[in-house]
A and B are shown apart, each in its own frame.
Chain A
Amino acid sequence: MSGLVKETSVPRTADSRAPEGGGFDAPAPMRRVPAKEVRQRRGDRITYAVLCVLVVLLMVPFIWMVSSSLKHDNQVFTVPIQWIPEEFVWSNYADIWERIPMLGYVQNSLYLAVIITCLQVLTGSLAAYGFAKVRFPGRDWLFLGYIATIAVPWQAYMVPQYIMMQRMELTNTFWSLILLQAFGAFGVFLMRQYYMTIPDELCEAARIDGLSEYGIWARVILPLSKPALATLALLTFVNTWNDYMGPFIYLTSNRLWTVQLGLRSFVGQFDAEFAMIMTGSVISVVPILIIFLIGQKHFIEGIATSGMKG
């Protein structure tokens, strides 16, 4: 298991060692070798063509989703497929808020995602500082315990967790999800990986200047680890927003449902309302799309750094 963790450092160092290629917006190199350039340009054009075809193919489900969400139900499954609706039914996007308590679902999802993300980032970065920059006996064993549980599949301890929550009478409350997801070992692991790359000398210097350990964490390490904090925050937010099983197991009353649960039950109840179901799907994806576009660099770095999800 420790081998599994060691391997994660491979992509990480790779990423930091080769920033020229690693950046997503690396500019094309300028060359003035005519013959080679001609060949290169042709190669580039072929690559572009292949990539365009591929990406369109991969995007078909999304294109279909958006297109269907703007149709009438009976137009979704026409033969042959209409990719562009004859008539754009924008009213689907107005109606869905009345058909199901979508606003409530969105609020619940947001509430959970924000609270869990804040707690995860706060406690994760604190603990990571303890593990990366403070030396005390037993520290490494403790960290090993954290790592070992990352490797245990969640399904393996989902039942004891459930029994516990039941006994504490926290099932069917937001508390259950917050408590289960806010203290993940993953956040600690990700932040620690990053803190290890910050030179100890910086902390030393701050110590000599009389800063307490908490001061060092708040005023030296936190500002330096903005990219890692952003990565963890984005990953946690998206994971919480998209989480289906957690809410599925713990939240039984409709009032507490998240977007994912609401959407799923809508599908079950109104089987034939294809257009409306697609509208709901689009609405469930839009927040993620926005967050992803804002933070895509951090996402990809985070994946390359840790190679794991929460």
Chain B
Amino acid sequence: MNTSSIEAGPLAAAAAEPAARPAAGGGRPAGNRRQARRNTLIGWSFILPNFLGFLAFTLIPVIAAFGLAFMHWNSFSTPRWVGLENFRTMFASETFWIALRNTVVYTIGHVPLTLALALGLALLVNRKLKGIGLFRVAIFFPYITSLVAVAVVWNMLFNPESGPINQFLMWIGISDPPGWTSSTTWAMPAVIITSVWRDMGYYMVLYLAGLQAIPRELYEAAEVDGASAWQRFWNVTLPGLRPTTFFVVVMLTVASFKVFDLIVVMTEGGPGRSTTVLSQLIYREGILQGEFGYSSAISLVLFLLVLGVTVVQFRIQQRRER
């Protein structure tokens, strides 16, 4: 509170000055203090409608989640502090490790593929051509279509017997195409393909914005120096996109760790446990089984994973900038 009021002090006074003018003269400091109090009231009055909802339904649950992880609490018992017991149970549970592995596998499949395709698409549509907007819109559209529809359609496309994908694979000479969502080996790749298809338009837009931030003069200078298209890409475009790439990688990784609804709708975590991910475990333990403490412990692991990835990537980015 204190530091920020010092920071905001002079600025607040500057902002308040015109309004305080009538009161100017002898009582300046007092007027300023009154003005600051008035500003606080006004500021809070603007923020309050949102803040109350935010406090009750986001901030408090976030804080509660951390405490719950160290408690034994289910829908039948009263909360009791148990320290690390939930974590011990978790680390001894095979399902937890499978879900963790699946989450990581999904991330490793999803992030680089989406990244590469998003960048490729962005380069392709970053031109001033007639009607290019239509192409951009078409590529972006899957991202905002209803997830259930997407999952349903892809499940049918992946139909092992006569779905279009396997028909195509047989047509190009693969006599024994995968069973996709009905196979423990291929269910995860099927989910990854669907999610890459859905997400790449979104990250393409981020890359487009990044590409347009690269000064045109750099390209002109490179061209004058006789750099080939490949050299221009390697020495101008890629370095220029570094901040965007950093941002995209962080967003993608975080989103991948949180993957939930696509898997729930497409495979429900199966067949077997082959596509069960961490967030599904949280849902199952916390909301279906009512094991509030245990599921919060899993939540904490998920949160630490997300945080860890963000911090590591942030460090890498900082080192590169230096």
Residues of A participating in the B interface, judged by any CB pair closer than 8 Å: 1, 3-4, 7-8, 10-15, 17-18, 21-22, 24-29, 44, 47-48, 50-51, 54-55, 58-62, 64-65, 68, 76-81, 122-124, 126-127, 129-131, 134-142, 145-146, 149, 151-164, 179-180, 182-185, 187-188, 200, 204, 207-208, 213, 217, 238, 241-242, 244-245, 248-249, 259-260, 263-264, 267, 274, 277-278, 281-282, 284-285, 288-289, 292, 296, 299-300, 303-304, 307-309
Known: A65-B153, A137-B40, A159-B292. A58 touches B142 (CB 8 A): yes
Tell me whether B18 and A204 are in contact (CB under 8 A).
yes
Nearest Cβ on chain B to A277's Cβ, whole angstroms? 6
Tell me whether A244 and B197 are in contact (CB under 8 A).
no
Verify if B254 is at the interface (C-beta below 8 Å from A). Answer: yes
Verify if B247 is at the interface (C-beta below 8 Å from A). Answer: yes
| CA–CA, A260 and B51, complex, Å | 29
B51 and chain A: residue at smallest CB distance: A127
Known: A27-B128, A61-B197, A188-B50. A155 touches B282 (CB 8 A): yes
Nearest Cβ on chain A to B163's Cβ, whole angstroms? 7
| CA–CA, A96 and B186, complex, Å | 33
Encode B134-155 as 1/0 by CB contact (under 8 A) with A.
0111111110111111101110
| A13, A160, A180, A263: residue with the most chain B Cβ atoms closer than 10 Å | A160
Q: What is the count of residue pairs linking A and B with beta-carbon distances less than 8 angstroms?
A: 343
Verify if B81 is at the interface (C-beta below 8 Å from A). Answer: no
Q: Which residue of B42, B146, B247, B306 is within 8 Å of A260 (Cβ)?
A: B146
Known: A137-B1, A156-B299, A242-B144. A123 touches B243 (CB 8 A): no
* Interface residues of chain B: helix, strand, loop or mixed (majority): helix
Report, nearest first, the 10 A-B pairs whose CB atoms are least far apart.
A183-B53, A14-B213, A130-B46, A137-B5, A24-B133, A159-B286, A11-B209, A160-B61, A281-B149, A123-B50
- Point out the residues of chain B lying under 8 angstroms from A140, CB to CB: 4, 7-8
Give the size of the chain B interface in residues (CB under 8 angstroms).
Answer: 111
- Point out the residues of chain A lying under 8 angstroms from B108, CB to CB: none
Apart from A47-B129, A157-B64, A277-B156: 11 A-B pairs, beta carbons within 8 A: A60-B164, A64-B164, A140-B8, A153-B279, A155-B283, A159-B286, A160-B62, A263-B146, A263-B148, A300-B136, A307-B206
| CA–CA, A278 and B53, complex, Å | 38
- Point out the residues of chain A lying under 8 angstroms from B292, CB to CB: 159-160, 163
Encode B51-77 as 1/0 by CB contact (under 8 A) with A.
111101111111011001000000000
A–B Cβ pairs within 8 angstroms, 21 of them: A11-B210, A12-B209, A13-B213, A22-B209, A54-B139, A64-B157, A126-B46, A136-B36, A151-B254, A151-B310, A155-B302, A159-B286, A159-B295, A161-B57, A183-B53, A185-B54, A200-B15, A244-B146, A277-B156, A284-B148, A299-B144
- Point out the residues of chain A lying under 8 angstroms from B278, CB to CB: 155
- Point out the residues of chain A lying under 8 angstroms from B58, CB to CB: 149, 157, 183-185
Residues of B participating in the A interface, judged by any CB pair closer than 8 Å: 1, 4-5, 7-8, 11-12, 15, 18-19, 36, 39-40, 42-47, 49-54, 56-62, 64-65, 68, 121, 124-130, 132-133, 135-142, 144-150, 152-154, 156-157, 159, 161-164, 167, 197, 202, 205-206, 208-210, 212-213, 243-244, 246-247, 250-251, 254, 257-258, 260-261, 264-265, 278-279, 282-283, 286-287, 292, 295-296, 299-300, 302-303, 306-307, 310, 314, 317
Known: A79-B162, A179-B53. A138 touches B212 (CB 8 A): no
| CA–CA, A296 and B278, complex, Å | 34
| CA–CA, A58 and B138, complex, Å | 8
Tell me whether B156 and A76 are in contact (CB under 8 A).
yes
Tell me whether B156 and A80 are in contact (CB under 8 A).
no
- Point out the residues of chain A lying under 8 angstroms from B310, CB to CB: 1, 4, 151
Tell me whether A131 and B47 are in contact (CB under 8 A).
yes
Tell me whether A134 and B46 are in contact (CB under 8 A).
yes
- Point out the residues of chain B lying under 8 angstroms from A134, CB to CB: 15, 39, 42-43, 46
A308 and chain B: residue at smallest CB distance: B251
- Point out the residues of chain B lying under 8 angstroms from A138, CB to CB: 1, 4-5
Q: Which residue of B257, B265, B283 is within 8 Å of A158 (Cβ)?
A: B283
Known: A24-B133, A77-B159, A179-B57. A14 touches B295 (CB 8 A): no
Tell me whether A10 and B213 are in contact (CB under 8 A).
yes
Tell me whether A149 and B258 are in contact (CB under 8 A).
no
A122 and chain B: residue at smallest CB distance: B49
Q: Which residue of A4, A14, A124 is within 8 Å of B212 (Cβ)?
A: A14
Nearest Cβ on chain B to A30's Cβ, whole angstroms? 11
Nearest Cβ on chain B to A151's Cβ, whole angstroms? 7
Nearest Cβ on chain A to B306's Cβ, whole angstroms? 6
- Point out the residues of chain B lying under 8 angstroms from A308, CB to CB: 251
Q: Which residue of B11, B139, B282, B314 is within 8 Å of A4 (Cβ)?
A: B314
Q: Which residue of A124, A136, A164 is within 8 Å of B40 (Cβ)?
A: A136
A304 and chain B: residue at smallest CB distance: B209
| CA–CA, A51 and B136, complex, Å | 10
| B140, B147, B167, B212: residue with the most chain A Cβ atoms closer than 10 Å | B212
| CA–CA, A61 and B194, complex, Å | 10
